[in-house]
C-alpha cells in the first residue's frame, strides 16, 4: 500500500533549466509535506516543506506546490545546478506540526543535472 | 554541534547472527526515529522513541527486531537472527520537537 508515490524514477535536466519533481499521495489525512534530498552514502537532508493550508512555499531556488484536490505536490528547482544531482524524496505526515513526526516517504526520483 | 551519529557505517553479518545499530542523537534532541530503506525503495518508518519510552513501533517487524533509547547512551536498534532480507540501509533521525528532524548517515547492513 504505497500512500506516497513518485512515479518518475529518474529525471535528467540541463544546467540552468527548471527541474520539476512530482509526487502523488492517497491518504487524505496527510496535511504536512516535505521534500528531502539524498546523496549516496548519506542520510536525507531536509529541503523544503509545506502545510496543507498553503498551496505554495518558496525558499530560494526551491518552490513546492500543493494541489490538495488532486492530492499532488511538486518541487520546482530553478535554475538547476549540477550540485542538485541527487535522489529526491517526497514525504508526508498527518497532523503536521502537532504529530510526533512519523513520515511516509515516496520511492524517490533520481535527478541528474547536466552541465 | 555534531549531527546525528550512527555507527557502524557498514555492518556485515552472517545469517543467524545479531546486528546492533547505534544512534547518538544531536545534543538536546530527545526524539529518535528509525527508518529502513530497502534497495530501490523509499524510507519506511520503523519506530519512534523518546528517552526510555517507545512511543510508536508500528513499523517494526513483529519478531527479531527491537529498539531502545536508554536514559544514558545512544539509541540501539537490535536485529536478532538476521536473514538476507534484513539487508538494507538503516537511518536514524532525531528531533528536539515533534516535526523537523535531522537524519544520520545511516548504517548499511549486509547479511551474507
pLDDT in tens, B49-91: 998 899 999 999 999 999 999 988 999 999 999 999 999 999 9
The verdict on B2 touching A (C-beta cutoff 8 Å) is: no
Is residue B103 within 8 Å of residue B6, measured between CB atoms? no
Cβ contact B101–A101 (<8 Å): yes
Is residue A19 within 8 Å of residue A11, measured between CB atoms? yes
**Domains of chain A with bracketed CATH:** 4-114 (2.60.40.10)
Q: Torsions phi, psi of B84, nearest 5?
A: -60, -35
Tens of pLDDT, residue by residue over B13-58, are 999 999 999 999 998 888 999 999 998 888 999 999 998 899 999 9
* Chain B residues with CB-CB distance to A91 below 8 A: 43
Query: How far is residue A108's CA from residue A80's CA, in Å, rounded to a whole number?
Result: 18
Of all residues in chain A, the percent with pLDDT exceeding 70 is 95
pLDDT of B36 reads 97
Radius of gyration of chain B (CA): 13
Strands B43-50 and B53-56: antiparallel
The verdict on A40 touching B (C-beta cutoff 8 Å) is: no
Amino acid at each position: 500500500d504505497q500512500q506516497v508515490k513518485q512515479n518518475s524514477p529518474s529525471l535528467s535536466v540541463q544546467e540552468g533549466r527548471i527541474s520539476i519533481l512530482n509526487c502523488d499521495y492517497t491518504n487524505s489525512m496527510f496535511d504536512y509535506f516535505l521534500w528531502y534530498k539524498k546523496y549516496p552514502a548519506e542520510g536525507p537532508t531536509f529541503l523544503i516543506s509545506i502545510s496543507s493550508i498553503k498551496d505554495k512555499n518558496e525558499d530560494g531556488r526551491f518552490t513546492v506546490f500543493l494541489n490538495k484536490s488532486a492530492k499532488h505536490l511538486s518541487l520546482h528547482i530553478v535554475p538547476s545546478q549540477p550540485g542538485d544531482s541527487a535522489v529526491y524524496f517526497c514525504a508526508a505526515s498527518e497532523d503536521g506540526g502537532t504529530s510526533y513526526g512519523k513520515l511516509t516517504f515516496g520511492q524517490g526520483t533520481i535527478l541528474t543535472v547536466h552541465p | 554541534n555534531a549531527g546525528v551519529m550512527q555507527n557502524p557505517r557498514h555492518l556485515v553479518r552472517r545469517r543467524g547472527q545479531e546486528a546492533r545499530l547505534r544512534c547518538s542523537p544531536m545534543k538536546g534532541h530527545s526524539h529518535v526515529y528509525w527508518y529502513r530503506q530497502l534497495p530501490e525503495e523509499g524510507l519506511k518508518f520503523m519506530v519512534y522513541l523518546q528517552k526510555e519510552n517507545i512511543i510508536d513501533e508500528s513499523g517494526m517487524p513483529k519478531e527479531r527486531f527491537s529498539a531502545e533509547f536508554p536514559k544514558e547512551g545512544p539509541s540501539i536498534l537490535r536485529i536478532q537472527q538476521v536473514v538476507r532480507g534484513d539487508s538494507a540501509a538503516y537511518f536514524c533521525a532525531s528531533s528536539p520537537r515533534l516535526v523537523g528532524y535531522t537524519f544520520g548517515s545511516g548504517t548499511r547492513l549486509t547479511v551474507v
